[in-house]
Amino acid sequence: MNWEAVIGIECHVELKTQTKMFCGCPNEFGAEPNTNVCPVCLGMPGALPVPNRVAIEHMVRAGLAFGAEIPAFSKFDRKNYFYPDMPKDYQISQFDMPLTSGGEVKYWLDDGTMKSCRLTRIHLEEDTGKSSHAGSGDGRIAGSEYSLVDFNRAGVPLMECVSEPEIRSSQDAVAYLTSLRETLLQLDVSDVKMEEGSLRCDANVSIRPVGATELGTKTEIKNMNSFRSVQRAIDSEIRRQIETVEAGGRVVQETRGWDEARGETHSMRSKEEAHDYRYFPDPDLVPMELQGDDIERLRAGLAELPWQRFERLTGEYGLNVKQAGQLIDNARLAEYFDRVVTASRNPQQSTNFVLGDLSRLANESGVAVADSKASPDDIAELIAMVEAKTINSKIAKTLVERMWKGDGSPKAIVEREGLSQTSDPAAVETFVDDVLAANPNIVAEYRAGKTNVAGFLVGQIMKASRGKVDPALVNTVLKRKLE
């Protein structure tokens, strides 16, 4: 039987702000334990939350970037459950009226195809503190004897982003996450670093026979700490589910942890009786009614999004996926590239120089292309000279290195050193005549039928002209003279 995987991704993204969601404590990674805490984020008696305006704007900008609606009315709700690293034993979150609704993540695959996955919801909530578990040896909660809690992270603004189960493979899952991360980076609303926990994701995985419409029983995969482990975890879970079912067993709904070392998922807990979170509107906070002009102001501030850039580069400019990827990963390089293209109107050559020579020089020197002494206008000027055949590609390459060193604009260098290529037949003839006169016996061999010696003569002519003559012209002139 052929199986199809059905995958949904749930992400928690810490927003990039100076302070926490509901208090003035610093929102920073890696501070001394329990130093970034106050009455509010420790849930002390009498303390009250006041929402961080910037976090709300980050949410709206993210929503707009994903094409979500921004409802006129939105509110915060309390999600009630007890956990030691949750100071108030309820989480301020958003239940039925989040700041944004709908939306989709457009993402691209290695073969250049674009896909999109709709979002079930994006909402704003507060992060919990961090527990470390002692006594279990491996730091896992299972088998631990006690736990130690650090509340520095408690109250950090958190965006929860849940996708519809529209993803069909681990590759697509990673592509989805890549686009999500690139978008949030470009919006500058988060660092999205999995290693620092500012991006955390779980995957819901189920399988069903190809063509089936109803969903199979899903498992939730946790503890994936890199895109690579997301891909491996999903693949291994799909395999496990297929083996289970084909062996006559059935998949149980449960939470499974990814074990990087063993390369497999293990059961953490089977789905306990459904939680009764007792959501209700937080009476310490008042509703949000975002005004149309505020939303438009934020919309106007949005730049080109990664998936849009991908479409432009691969479509309009004909870059391949790898090249487009290089430019999406590096916003400053992309901006430099765009300026070269605008000035030169030659995407092909712009790609060659920016992603070829310049990027090579950047790697060798450790200086970013955008910071190099070769300005986009200089590169465009160079491209124009190549187009006009004023110089050949060989000279162009040396010019790029000279420009990188700061020797000035290509025109200046060429004029200073008379490097421009001659296409004037008369000038070429003198070179040819000189070389023929200097090599009578070679000329004799040629005339005797050893036509392959022509190559030697061309080389001599180029040498004599220090590469300034157009090789094509040389050939025609030479042939005429030898016949």
Partner 1 sequence: MGDFSIERGAADIARAVTAGSVSAADVVEAILSRVDAVDDAVGAYLTPLHDLARRTAANVDARIRTGERLPLAGVPLAVKDNMCLTGTRTTAGSKILEHWVAPYTATAVARLLHAGCVPIGKANLDEFAMGSSCENSALGVTRNPYDLVRVPGGSSGGSAAAVAALEATIALGSDTGGSIREPAAFCNLVGFKPTYGRVSRYGLIAFASSLDQIGPLTRSVEDAALTYDAMAGFDTMDATSVDREVEPSATALREDLRGLRIGLVRQFDTKLLGPEVDAAYRKAYDDLAACGAEIVEVSLPTADYGLATYYLIAPAECSSNLSRFDGVRYGLRVEAKDVQAMYEETRAAGFGPEVKRRILIGTHALSSGFYDAYYVRAQKARTLIARDFDKAFAGCDLIACPAASSPAFAFNAKSDPYSMYMMDYYTIPMSLAGLPALSVPCGWVTPPGGSVPMPLGLQLCAPQFAEPLLLGAAHAYERTTGHATQHSARVEAVSP
Partner 2 sequence: MQSDSIDVRYVARLARIALTDEEVDRFSEQLGDLLHHVDALSELDTNIVAATAQVVESRNVTRSDERRPSLDRETVLEQAPRRQGNFFRVPRIIAE
With respect to partner 2, which residue has the nearer C-beta, 286 or 438?
286
Beta bridge partners of 201: 11, 224
* Binding pattern for the stretch 154-183 against Mg ion, x by CB under 5 A and - elsewhere: ------x-----------------------
Which residues from 388-447 bind Mg ion, rule CB under 5 A? none
With respect to Zn ion, which residue has the nearer C-beta, 41 or 177?
41
With respect to Zn ion, which residue has the nearer C-beta, 41 or 174?
41
Min dist. Cβ of residue 192 to Mg ion (A): 17
Q: How far apart are CA 169 and CA 4, in angstroms?
A: 9
Min dist. Cβ of residue 72 to partner 1 (A): 19
DSSP 314-341: IIIS---HHHHHHHHH-HHHHHHHHHHH
Q: Is 164 helix (H, G, I), strand (E, B) or coil?
A: coil
Whether the CB-CB separation of 291 and 79 falls below 8 Å is answered with no
Place of tokens 């891909």: 231
Name the burial class of residue 454, with classes exposed (0-12), middle (13-18) and buried (19+) by CB atoms within 10 angstroms of its CB. Answer: middle
Q: Which of 35, 50, 196, 348 binds partner 1 (CB under 8 A)?
A: 50
Which of Zn ion, partner 1, partner 2, none sits in contact with 88, Cβ below 5 to 8 A by type?
partner 1
Q: Which of 73, 82, 322, 393 binds partner 1 (CB under 8 A)?
A: 82
Q: How far apart are CA 440 and CA 443, in angstroms?
A: 5
* Of 139-147, 173-181, 189-197, 200-208: span binding partner 2 (CB under 8 A): 139-147
Q: Which of 3, 28, 67, 80 binds partner 1 (CB under 8 A)?
A: 80
Min dist. Cβ of residue 129 to partner 1 (A): 10
Q: Is 56 helix (H, G, I), strand (E, B) or coil?
A: helix
* 293 scored as a contact of partner 2 (CB under 8 A): no
Report the relative pairing of strands 157-163 and 3-14 from DSSP bridges: antiparallel
Which of partner 2, partner 1, Mg ion, none sits in contact with 160, Cβ below 5 to 8 A by type?
Mg ion
Question: Residue 142: CB partners within 8 Å, gap ≥ 6?
Answer: 136, 268
* Binding pattern for the stretch 36-65 against Zn ion, x by CB under 5 A and - elsewhere: --x-xx------------------------
Look at phi and psi of residue 288 and say left if phi exceeds 0, alpha if psi is from -120 to 50, else beta. Answer: beta
- CA nearest to 13, candidates 54, 46, 58: 58
Whether the CB-CB separation of 388 and 410 falls below 8 Å is answered with no
Where are the strands (E) in 111-194, listed by range? 114-126, 130-134, 146-150, 157-163
* 302 scored as a contact of partner 2 (CB under 8 A): no
Name the burial class of residue 364, with classes exposed (0-12), middle (13-18) and buried (19+) by CB atoms within 10 angstroms of its CB. Answer: exposed
* 133 scored as a contact of partner 2 (CB under 8 A): yes
Min dist. Cβ of residue 252 to partner 2 (A): 16
Alpha-carbon distance values, 404 to 248, 374, 407 (Å): 66, 5, 8
Q: List interacting residues with partner 1 (CB under 8 A).
A: 39, 42-51, 78, 80, 82, 84, 87-90, 147, 149, 151, 276, 278, 280, 283-286
Which spans of this chain sit near partner 2 (rule: CB under 8 A)? 17-19, 23-26, 32-39, 42, 50-56, 75, 82, 84, 131-133, 141-142, 144-151, 268-269, 272, 276, 278, 281, 283, 285-290
**What residues line the site for Zn ion (CB under 5 A)?**
23, 25, 38, 40-41
> Which residues of this chain interact with Mg ion, rule CB under 5 A?
160
